[in-house]
Amino acid sequence: MGLEMIQPGALSTIQDLGREGYQSQGFQKSGACDKYSMKLSNLLAGNFDENCKEAVVEFTLRGGEIRFTSPEVFSLTGADMRPLLNGEPIPMYAPVCAQEGDVLTLSLAPTGLRTYLAVHGGISVPAVMGSRSTNLKCRLGGFKGRALKQGDCLPTGKTTEQVKVFVEIVKGREDKFALGEDKSFLRRPSTPSRYYGLHGYVLLRVVEGPQAEAFTEEGLKTFLRNPYQLSMSCDRMACKLEGPLIGLKEGADIISDGIVEGSIQISASGLPMVMMADHQATGGYAKIGTVISTDIPSLAQLRPGEWVTFQFITPKEAVGIYRKEDKKLKDFRKRLMDVMDE
């Protein structure tokens, strides 16, 4: 039961929701950069765990080729890498049935950055410290703690008989599982846009602090009023941005303290960088705010050269946004489970 990597693509790793509880010991949380797409892919593949936490393959920019070594049901979400199964186009955001020997081909994504492949039962590599996520810097988790290579064989979590049962449920009812273009509100997270003239930019909502007092009043206004462009120094660890410099009162350095995904550090140069899934455990630059978790997936799909803007919101507003987004996925999960029971 499993998948064989014929060509691994630009950067392909196994990820889940991340490694909780070890940051105090210096281990990054890791996990999928776009957790919304990861959860959605799991649901479409029939993984109905309440947290949608089964391990998936995260492809970056270009996916390569994968051979199925057993019958599987899989789904693809996130960036559209124009998937082909045995040379024939297949849909994104839908369960797809594959037979032993079938080959999935993923090309260069014309837009977006990361694609998520989920299979029924999940990618069943050993859990390390409670997670199957790949931590590239510490070389642990995932498949041998590294990016996938040609010839790697990945086990999946369901037997052939269990997969066949799910195939029988899906066949003939693909339209009830799939998310077509008319359901774009479900395909993507509910991150808003801000317009400057005719140009719309992703609007990242931010909870202010914890070192907001380190910035001048004009620096805070600069941060909120101007768009910032993703630089070429963007990866799973952080997105470094370019744009107007943000003024500080006495420099950017602080006594190192904890970092979370979404923390916005302002470096000594006065430019922001947003911490992503593989962020370090602590940092010594002042943090102007934290991007809310529901907007991180939208940032994770942007490429160098694209733009973002920022807006402060209150912690109470952030919690309300999270609950609304969580309900959206839970309602979809319930809908799929109702289809299963028909």
pLDDT digits (tens, 9 = 90+) for 223-256: 999 999 999 999 999 999 999 999 999 988 888 9
Domain presence at residue 145: yes
Helix (H) or strand (E) holding 219, with range, is helix 217-225
The tokens of 52 are what? 């949608």
User: In 3D, which of 118, 3, 119, 7 has the Cα closest to residue 62?
Assistant: 7
Amino acid at 1: M
Q: Are residues 208 and 181 in the same domain?
A: no
Residue 169 located in a structural domain? yes
Over the stretch 81-98, which tens digit does the pLDDT of each residue have?
Answer: 999 999 999 999 999 999
Burial of 218 (0-12, 13-18, 19+ CB in 10 A): exposed
Which residue, 145, 171, 188, sits at the end of a domain? 188
The tens place of each residue's pLDDT in the chain, 342 residues long, gives: 799 999 999 999 999 999 999 888 888 899 999 999 999 999 999 999 888 999 999 999 999 999 999 999 999 999 999 999 999 999 999 999 999 999 999 999 999 999 999 999 999 999 999 999 999 989 999 999 999 999 999 999 998 899 999 999 888 888 888 998 888 889 999 999 999 888 899 999 999 999 999 999 999 999 999 999 999 999 999 999 999 999 999 988 888 999 999 999 999 999 999 999 999 999 999 999 999 999 999 999 999 999 999 999 999 999 999 999 999 999 999 999 988 877
| 239 and 169 together in one domain | no
The answer to whether residues 143 and 171 belong to one domain is yes
Q: Are 28 and 145 in contact (CB under 8 A)?
A: no
What is the extent of the structural domain holding 38? 2-188
Residue 294 CB-half CA count within 13 A:
23
Number of domains in the chain: 2
- State the maximum Cα–Cα separation within the chain, in Å, rounded to a whole number: 65
The CATH number of the domain holding residue 276 is: 2.40.100.10
Residues 6+ apart with CB under 8 A from 158: 1, 120, 121, 166
Q: How far apart are CA 37 and CA 188, in angstroms?
A: 7
pTM (predicted TM-score): 0.96
Any domain includes 14: yes
Asked whether residue 328 is domain-assigned, the answer is no
Tell which residue, 53, 336, 321, 57, has the closest CA to residue 189: 321
Whether residue 19 is found in the same domain as residue 150? yes
The answer on 34 and 113 residing in a single domain is yes
In angstroms, the Cα distances linking 20 to 24, 25, 132, 137, 325 are: 10, 11, 11, 17, 21
User: Can you say how many angstroms the Cα of residue 119 is from the centroid of all Cα atoms in its chain?
Assistant: 16
Beta-ladder partners of 21 = none
Same domain, 51 and 109: yes
The single-letter code of the amino acid at 75 is S
Does 146 share its domain with 259? no
Q: Let me know if residue 333 belongs to a domain.
A: no
The residues, any chain, with a CB within 8 Å of residue 333's CB and separated by 6 or more, are 43, 48, 50, 52
Same domain, 67 and 105: yes
Residues 6 or more apart whose CB falls under 8 angstroms from that of 131 comprise 16, 17, 18, 19, 20, 30, 31, 141
339 lies in a domain? Answer: no
329 is a domain residue: no
Boundary residue ending a domain (129, 161, 188): 188
Q: What is the pLDDT of residue 33?
A: 98
Rounded-to-integer distance, Cα 129 and Cα 322, Å: 27
Q: Which is nearest to 161 in space by CA: 104, 120, 111?
A: 120
Q: Quick check: 147 and 136 in contact, CB under 8 A?
A: yes
In a domain, 330, yes or no: no
Please tell me whether residues 261 and 180 are part of one structural domain: no
Residues 235, 182: one domain? no
- Based on the fold, state whether residues 70 and 202 are members of the same structural domain: no
Phi and psi for 279 in degrees, rounded to 5? -60, 155
CA dist 58 to 15, 157, 210, Å?
7, 17, 31
* Residues 206 and 61 placed together within one structural domain of the fold: no
Q: Cβ atoms within 10 A of the Cβ of 200, count?
A: 13
Give the end of a domain, one of 125, 156, 188.
Answer: 188
